[in-house]
Amino acid sequence: MNALAFLFAAYIATWVIHAFYLGTLVRRFSKLRQQMKELGKGK
Amino acid sequence: MKRAFSIFSVITAVLLVYGLYQALVGAPTERTMGDVQRIFYYHVPSAWTAFCLFLTNLVASIIYLIRKSAWADALAVAAAEVGVVFCTIVLITGPIWARPVWGIWWTWDVRLTTTLVLWLIYVSYLVLRRFSDTAQTPILAAVLAIFGALDVPLVYFSIWFFRTQHPQPVMGRGGSLDPRMLHAFLINLLAFSCFGAMVCWARFRLEQLKRDVDQAHAMESLAGASEPAKASLPLSRSSR
């Protein structure tokens, strides 16, 4: 592997981890919003 | 608040794109390591952001222990989780940088080992928060956070106090950087700090929303099927 391959591997790994984590946050937000709606409907 | 978050997100995105451009194009190629040295512009700002988040976790944990504020506990959880994400990036980009430069992926060097220990402490903090749900959990977690934070100065100063393979700081203590490298580094430091703050802010809001939903569920259970559950929902937060 040349230097550029290591460089891009590091940058891609950084953004893949951030994208994955942001994805989990969005999923958790929508799940909680759904639960809030269901609680609201239960009235 | 939502508007402020949107503006902050846009500023952060612009800084990150500019930081990426500076790291890959603006900064000159380092003479001995070549292009692989550009990992520095992501590795060090990620470590800095992780340290700031662990410091936030420490301060929030101390506030929680003194005042028992729910918001401080929520902030402590948020900062620890986002800090672990940034620390994971440090532990992944470090070996990717080390392999072409040192010829090895990992060595049980003081700086590397203390960073791994720091990561493990905060992962155990998150495991405690995730799987223990007693009234004492926030107190135990806050105490663990204080012990965990003691490792942060050990990680930072280890390269000065111990013989280590990890490079010495490039700024201060006789180190110097090319002005274009310094510019790229500072832009990425600012961009990653803003990004860390933004994600921590979002995670903090998520934690508060989760607590509202849990509270509403608990109230619903207490009130029984015939009682309205919506009355227990904090409407001021439902729009978030």
Chain A: closest CA distance from residue B14 (Å): 15
| Most B CBs within 10 Å, among A39, A41, A43, to test the B interface | A39
B238 confidence band (pLDDT: 50, 70, 90): very low
| pLDDT at B31 exceeding the cut of 60 | yes
- The C-alpha atoms of residue B50 and residue B126 are separated, in whole angstroms, by 15
Chain A: closest CA distance from residue B235 (Å): 10
Collect the ranges in chain A with pLDDT lower than 70: 1, 42-43
- The residue that leads in pLDDT, B170 or B90, is B90
**Angle, CA of B32, B37 and B41, to the nearest 5°:** 150
Q: Where are the alpha helices (DSSP H) in chain A?
A: 3-41
pLDDT of residue B226: 55
Strand partners, B34: B30
Contacts of B195 in chain A (CB under 8 A): 18
- The residue that leads in pLDDT, B175 or B195, is B195
B99 at the A interface (CB within 8 A)? yes
pLDDT of residue B240: 42
* Model confidence, pTM: 0.88
pLDDT of residue B232: 53
Instruction: Assess: ipTM above 0.85.
Output: yes
- The residue that leads in pLDDT, B142 or B227, is B142
The verdict on a CB contact (< 8 Å) between A10 and B220 is no
The verdict on a CB contact (< 8 Å) between A40 and B230 is yes
Tell me the domain boundaries of chain B: 2-238
pLDDT of residue B109: 86
B231 confidence band (pLDDT: 50, 70, 90): low
| pLDDT at B147 exceeding the cut of 50 | yes
Nearest CB neighbour to B238, from listed A7, A36, A42: A36
Q: 């937060």: which residue's tokens?
A: B237
B104 at the A interface (CB within 8 A)? no
Identity of the residue numbered B227: E
Tokens of B47: 């470590």
